[in-house]
Amino acid sequence: MGTLAGTAMDRQRRRLLQLGAGLNASALAMALGAHASVPSTAPAPRPSRDGRHDFDFYHGRWRVQNRRLRRRLAGNDDWDEFEARDECRPLLDGLGSIDHYTTAWNGGITGMALRLYRPQTRQWWVYWASDRDGVLEAPLIGGFADGIGVFTGLEAHEGRMLPSRATWSGIGSNHVQWEQALSPDDGRSWETNWVMQMTRIDT
Protein backbone atom coordinates (compact mmCIF):
# COMPACT_ATOMS: atom_id res chain seq x y z
CA MET A 1 0.00 0.00 0.00
CA GLY A 2 2.86 2.30 0.25
CA THR A 3 6.32 3.14 1.53
CA LEU A 4 7.75 6.15 3.32
CA ALA A 5 9.57 8.83 1.30
CA GLY A 6 11.61 11.91 2.04
CA THR A 7 10.46 15.49 1.88
CA ALA A 8 11.54 15.94 -1.74
CA MET A 9 9.55 12.89 -2.82
CA ASP A 10 6.52 14.14 -0.86
CA ARG A 11 6.70 17.37 -2.83
CA GLN A 12 6.77 15.35 -6.04
CA ARG A 13 3.65 13.46 -4.99
CA ARG A 14 1.78 16.66 -4.08
CA ARG A 15 2.80 18.23 -7.41
CA LEU A 16 1.56 15.11 -9.17
CA LEU A 17 -1.86 15.32 -7.52
CA GLN A 18 -2.16 18.99 -8.48
CA LEU A 19 -1.61 18.42 -12.18
CA GLY A 20 -5.24 17.56 -12.80
CA ALA A 21 -7.82 14.87 -13.02
CA GLY A 22 -6.94 13.71 -16.54
CA LEU A 23 -3.55 12.13 -15.91
CA ASN A 24 -2.92 8.65 -17.24
CA ALA A 25 0.12 6.46 -16.60
CA SER A 26 2.24 8.20 -19.23
CA ALA A 27 1.41 11.61 -17.83
CA LEU A 28 2.28 10.42 -14.36
CA ALA A 29 5.73 9.47 -15.52
CA MET A 30 6.22 12.74 -17.40
CA ALA A 31 5.19 14.71 -14.31
CA LEU A 32 7.84 12.91 -12.29
CA GLY A 33 10.53 13.62 -14.87
CA ALA A 34 13.82 11.86 -14.22
CA HIS A 35 12.44 9.94 -11.26
CA ALA A 36 10.74 7.32 -13.43
CA SER A 37 10.05 6.04 -16.89
CA VAL A 38 6.70 4.89 -18.21
CA PRO A 39 5.68 1.44 -16.89
CA SER A 40 5.43 -0.99 -19.78
CA THR A 41 2.37 -2.49 -18.09
CA ALA A 42 0.25 0.67 -18.37
CA PRO A 43 -3.41 0.57 -17.29
CA ALA A 44 -5.64 -1.45 -19.61
CA PRO A 45 -7.60 0.35 -22.33
CA ARG A 46 -10.95 1.80 -21.38
CA PRO A 47 -13.31 -1.04 -20.40
CA SER A 48 -16.43 -1.48 -22.49
CA ARG A 49 -18.74 -1.72 -19.47
CA ASP A 50 -19.67 0.47 -16.52
CA GLY A 51 -17.65 -0.74 -13.52
CA ARG A 52 -18.88 1.63 -10.83
CA HIS A 53 -20.13 -1.30 -8.72
CA ASP A 54 -17.00 -3.43 -9.04
CA PHE A 55 -15.92 -2.73 -5.45
CA ASP A 56 -19.36 -3.29 -3.89
CA PHE A 57 -18.21 -6.78 -2.82
CA TYR A 58 -15.78 -5.17 -0.36
CA HIS A 59 -18.25 -3.04 1.58
CA GLY A 60 -18.24 -4.12 5.24
CA ARG A 61 -15.76 -5.26 7.88
CA TRP A 62 -12.82 -7.61 7.27
CA ARG A 63 -10.15 -9.51 9.18
CA VAL A 64 -6.85 -9.16 7.29
CA GLN A 65 -3.99 -11.65 7.41
CA ASN A 66 -0.93 -9.78 6.16
CA ARG A 67 2.30 -11.19 4.76
CA ARG A 68 4.77 -8.37 4.06
CA LEU A 69 8.29 -8.58 2.65
CA ARG A 70 10.79 -7.03 5.07
CA ARG A 71 13.06 -5.57 2.37
CA ARG A 72 11.90 -4.80 -1.13
CA LEU A 73 13.92 -5.44 -4.29
CA ALA A 74 16.89 -6.65 -2.26
CA GLY A 75 16.82 -10.39 -2.96
CA ASN A 76 15.23 -10.83 0.45
CA ASP A 77 12.88 -13.68 1.37
CA ASP A 78 12.06 -12.74 4.97
CA TRP A 79 8.41 -11.94 5.58
CA ASP A 80 6.51 -10.37 8.47
CA GLU A 81 3.09 -11.85 9.21
CA PHE A 82 0.51 -9.93 11.20
CA GLU A 83 -3.21 -9.30 11.54
CA ALA A 84 -5.21 -6.17 10.82
CA ARG A 85 -8.79 -4.97 10.52
CA ASP A 86 -10.30 -3.14 7.56
CA GLU A 87 -13.67 -1.53 7.11
CA CYS A 88 -14.96 -0.30 3.76
CA ARG A 89 -17.95 1.92 3.13
CA PRO A 90 -19.37 3.48 -0.06
CA LEU A 91 -19.11 7.14 -1.08
CA LEU A 92 -20.72 9.41 -3.68
CA ASP A 93 -23.70 7.14 -4.39
CA GLY A 94 -21.46 4.34 -5.64
CA LEU A 95 -18.76 6.34 -7.41
CA GLY A 96 -16.30 5.76 -4.60
CA SER A 97 -15.42 3.93 -1.41
CA ILE A 98 -13.14 4.49 1.55
CA ASP A 99 -11.37 2.00 3.84
CA HIS A 100 -10.20 2.36 7.42
CA TYR A 101 -7.24 0.03 8.01
CA THR A 102 -5.75 -0.57 11.48
CA THR A 103 -3.09 -2.89 12.87
CA ALA A 104 -1.05 -3.10 16.05
CA TRP A 105 1.95 -4.40 14.08
CA ASN A 106 5.21 -2.42 14.14
CA GLY A 107 4.02 0.08 16.73
CA GLY A 108 0.56 0.44 15.20
CA ILE A 109 -0.54 1.74 11.81
CA THR A 110 -3.74 3.50 10.78
CA GLY A 111 -4.35 3.94 7.08
CA MET A 112 -7.01 4.74 4.51
CA ALA A 113 -7.63 3.73 0.93
CA LEU A 114 -9.74 6.09 -1.16
CA ARG A 115 -11.21 4.78 -4.43
CA LEU A 116 -12.89 7.02 -6.99
CA TYR A 117 -14.53 5.79 -10.19
CA ARG A 118 -14.44 7.93 -13.32
CA PRO A 119 -17.42 7.18 -15.59
CA GLN A 120 -15.84 9.01 -18.52
CA THR A 121 -12.88 6.59 -18.65
CA ARG A 122 -14.51 3.69 -16.76
CA GLN A 123 -11.45 3.36 -14.54
CA TRP A 124 -10.88 3.38 -10.81
CA TRP A 125 -8.29 5.67 -9.23
CA VAL A 126 -7.06 4.28 -5.91
CA TYR A 127 -5.18 6.41 -3.35
CA TRP A 128 -3.48 5.46 -0.06
CA ALA A 129 -2.46 7.48 3.02
CA SER A 130 -1.37 6.50 6.53
CA ASP A 131 -0.51 8.06 9.86
CA ARG A 132 3.18 7.35 9.17
CA ASP A 133 3.58 10.45 6.98
CA GLY A 134 0.12 11.90 6.24
CA VAL A 135 0.82 11.91 2.48
CA LEU A 136 -1.86 11.05 -0.07
CA GLU A 137 0.17 8.86 -2.40
CA ALA A 138 0.08 8.85 -6.19
CA PRO A 139 -2.89 6.83 -7.49
CA LEU A 140 -3.01 3.35 -8.95
CA ILE A 141 -5.36 3.25 -11.95
CA GLY A 142 -7.24 0.33 -13.43
CA GLY A 143 -10.30 -1.88 -13.26
CA PHE A 144 -11.70 -5.41 -13.32
CA ALA A 145 -11.88 -8.03 -16.07
CA ASP A 146 -12.93 -11.66 -15.69
CA GLY A 147 -13.10 -11.35 -11.90
CA ILE A 148 -9.57 -9.96 -11.51
CA GLY A 149 -8.80 -6.33 -10.61
CA VAL A 150 -5.46 -4.88 -11.74
CA PHE A 151 -4.31 -1.36 -10.84
CA THR A 152 -0.98 0.15 -11.89
CA GLY A 153 0.95 3.35 -11.29
CA LEU A 154 4.15 4.60 -9.69
CA GLU A 155 5.41 4.28 -6.11
CA ALA A 156 8.33 5.76 -4.20
CA HIS A 157 11.17 3.36 -3.41
CA GLU A 158 14.56 4.49 -2.16
CA GLY A 159 14.41 7.86 -3.90
CA ARG A 160 12.94 6.60 -7.19
CA MET A 161 9.42 6.23 -8.51
CA LEU A 162 8.98 2.64 -9.71
CA PRO A 163 6.12 0.85 -11.48
CA SER A 164 3.68 -0.48 -8.90
CA ARG A 165 0.82 -2.95 -9.30
CA ALA A 166 -2.02 -4.04 -7.04
CA THR A 167 -4.13 -7.10 -7.86
CA TRP A 168 -7.46 -8.25 -6.41
CA SER A 169 -8.29 -11.93 -6.95
CA GLY A 170 -10.18 -14.86 -5.46
CA ILE A 171 -13.18 -12.62 -4.94
CA GLY A 172 -16.03 -14.21 -3.01
CA SER A 173 -18.77 -13.04 -0.69
CA ASN A 174 -16.64 -13.70 2.40
CA HIS A 175 -13.05 -13.83 1.15
CA VAL A 176 -10.71 -11.92 -1.19
CA GLN A 177 -6.98 -11.60 -1.80
CA TRP A 178 -5.04 -8.40 -2.44
CA GLU A 179 -1.38 -8.27 -3.37
CA GLN A 180 1.12 -5.55 -4.21
CA ALA A 181 4.21 -5.76 -6.43
CA LEU A 182 7.01 -3.46 -7.57
CA SER A 183 9.04 -3.62 -10.77
CA PRO A 184 12.73 -2.60 -10.91
CA ASP A 185 12.85 -2.75 -14.74
CA ASP A 186 9.84 -0.85 -16.12
CA GLY A 187 7.42 -3.75 -15.86
CA ARG A 188 9.49 -6.56 -17.36
CA SER A 189 9.61 -8.34 -13.99
CA TRP A 190 7.73 -7.94 -10.74
CA GLU A 191 8.43 -8.69 -7.09
CA THR A 192 5.41 -9.28 -4.85
CA ASN A 193 6.03 -7.54 -1.53
CA TRP A 194 2.71 -7.61 0.29
CA VAL A 195 -0.15 -10.12 0.31
CA MET A 196 -3.40 -9.72 2.23
CA GLN A 197 -5.98 -12.44 2.76
CA MET A 198 -9.27 -10.83 3.81
CA THR A 199 -12.09 -12.70 5.56
CA ARG A 200 -15.41 -11.01 6.20
CA ILE A 201 -16.45 -10.29 9.79
CA ASP A 202 -20.15 -10.75 10.43
CA THR A 203 -21.84 -7.57 11.65
Tens of pLDDT, residue by residue over 2-23, are: 543 344 444 444 444 443 333 3
pLDDT at 202: 80
Please count the CA atoms within 13 angstroms of the CA of 178 that sit on its side-chain side.
16
| Residue-level pLDDT at 47 | 63
| Residue 185: pLDDT band with limits 50, 70, 90 | very high
Percent of the chain whose predicted confidence (pLDDT) is above 90 = 74
Q: Do the strands 140-145 and 109-118 form a parallel or antiparallel pair, or are they unpaired?
A: unpaired
pTM over 0.75: yes
Contact yes or no for 39/155 (Cβ under 8 A) = no
- Write down the pLDDT at residue 147: 94
